[in-house]
Amino acid sequence: MDISSEFSELMWLALSKEKQSSAISGNEPEMALLPGLCCQAAGGDASWADIVTAAWMLFYAAADIMDNIEDKDVPVSWWGDSGPATALSVATGLYFSATSVLYQMERKEVTKKIAPVVIQDFFNCFMIMSSGQYDDLRIPQPTIEQYWKIASAKSGAFFALACRSGARLVLGDGPHCKLYGQFGNQIGLLLQILDDLDEISFKNQLVTPATVEKLTRSLPVVYTMQMVPDETKERLKVCLQNAFHESSAAKEALAIMEESGAMLYLLSEIERNKKLALDSLTRAEATSPAGEILTSYVEKLGALP
């Protein structure tokens, strides 16, 4: 029995369309380069990481679909009509495709020795991400500490996997391999902060109760809700409820966050994570030109306009 052509087409459509709704949309070209660049920076050839990259991107697409459904996000166009059940079946197909691709490492001369370690690392990472997603669902208003724990388990772990896997093809399990993982973790956290800044642009055209719930789990809101007095907290909640359809409410919400120091906190966290990422690259003795490309990717985050 063959895979139905309709299902294959839907998986392809998901791969091409999913990125448009992605929480980290706009970063795909750089994202797809991360394993290869880390492999090259560690002294290998970028092409050695082709299989890792393909598997990682497939896993990413699958996880993104699951994330959208679990967060009750507005459906992406390709599954908007058919519903989340269809999207789940496609995500399942993508997971198994990714796994199948990953096992091709065992057939390639340059990767077959390290393949079992990389494959196990992928599965461990997805267990960590699933656990992070569970926490994200069960904690509607996280503390700042819980926010970082969840972000690290989700976005941080996923990008750490990309960078660590690319470097591991050259370095095996040495200490420098861990440094690439740390670099990836900081990249994941930085991208999460950017996503959260995007949340408070209040630009969603379709707003559901879940849109506001997601907003309350963004870093500027998490910070403000933890720091301000109860009265201000209640006012912010009201503003956030109305921010998507009343520009005055959006302005007031931003003003409350700004006056509480959210902007200073976010800029400081961006700077702290950038520094940690760059320190990891330096300690890993990343070689150029890949090392320079990775450095410039970090430096552009948080740069003044």
Partner 1 sequence: MSLAQVAYNLSTDADFAAKWDKNPQAALAGKGLKLTKEEFNALVTGLNQENRFESLSKLVLAATSWR
27 binds partner 1 (CB under 8 A): yes
Helices (H), 139-227: 144-151, 157-171, 175-199, 209-215, 219-227
238 binds partner 1 (CB under 8 A): no
* DSSP-derived secondary structure for 232-293: HHHHHHHHHHHTTT-HHHHHHHHHHHHHTTHHHHHHHHHHHHHHHHHHHHHHTTPPTTHHHH
Candidate list 264, 282, 285, 287; residue touching partner 1; CB under 8 A? 264
CA distances from 227 to 104, 148, 172, 259 (A): 50, 16, 44, 11
Candidate list 63, 91, 266, 284; residue touching partner 1; CB under 8 A? 266
Report the residue number, 177 or 222, with the smaller CB distance to partner 1.
222
* Per-residue binding letters, 212-231, with partner 1 (x by CB under 8 A): --------x--x--xx----
276 binds partner 1 (CB under 8 A): yes
* Per-residue binding letters, 131-160, with partner 1 (x by CB under 8 A): -------------xx---------------
CA dist., res. 118 & res. 102, Å (int) = 9
20 binds partner 1 (CB under 8 A): no
The stretch among 127-135, 152-160, 193-201, 240-248 that binds partner 1 (CB under 8 A) is 193-201
First-to-final CA distance of the chain: 56
236, containing H or E segment: helix 230-242
Helix, strand or coil for residue 260?
coil
Report the residue number, 5 or 296, with the smaller CB distance to partner 1.
296
Smallest distance, partner 1 to C-beta of residue 267, A = 4
- Is 210 in contact with 195 (CB distance < 8 Å)? no
Report the residue number, 22 or 97, with the smaller CB distance to partner 1.
22
CA dist., res. 137 & res. 104, Å (int) = 34
201 binds partner 1 (CB under 8 A): yes
Q: Is residue 140 reached through a cis peptide bond, with omega within 30 degrees of 0 on the bond before it? A: no
Residues 6+ away with beta carbon under 8 Å from 225: 141, 216, 233, 236
Q: 41: number of CA atoms within 13 Å, CB side? A: 29
180 binds partner 1 (CB under 8 A): no
Report the residue number, 4 or 201, with the smaller CB distance to partner 1.
201
Candidate list 88, 216, 283, 302; residue touching partner 1; CB under 8 A? 302
Candidate list 238, 248, 275, 288; residue touching partner 1; CB under 8 A? 275
Q: List interacting residues with partner 1 (CB under 8 A).
A: 24-27, 144-145, 194, 197-198, 200-201, 220, 223, 226-227, 254, 257-272, 275-276, 300-305
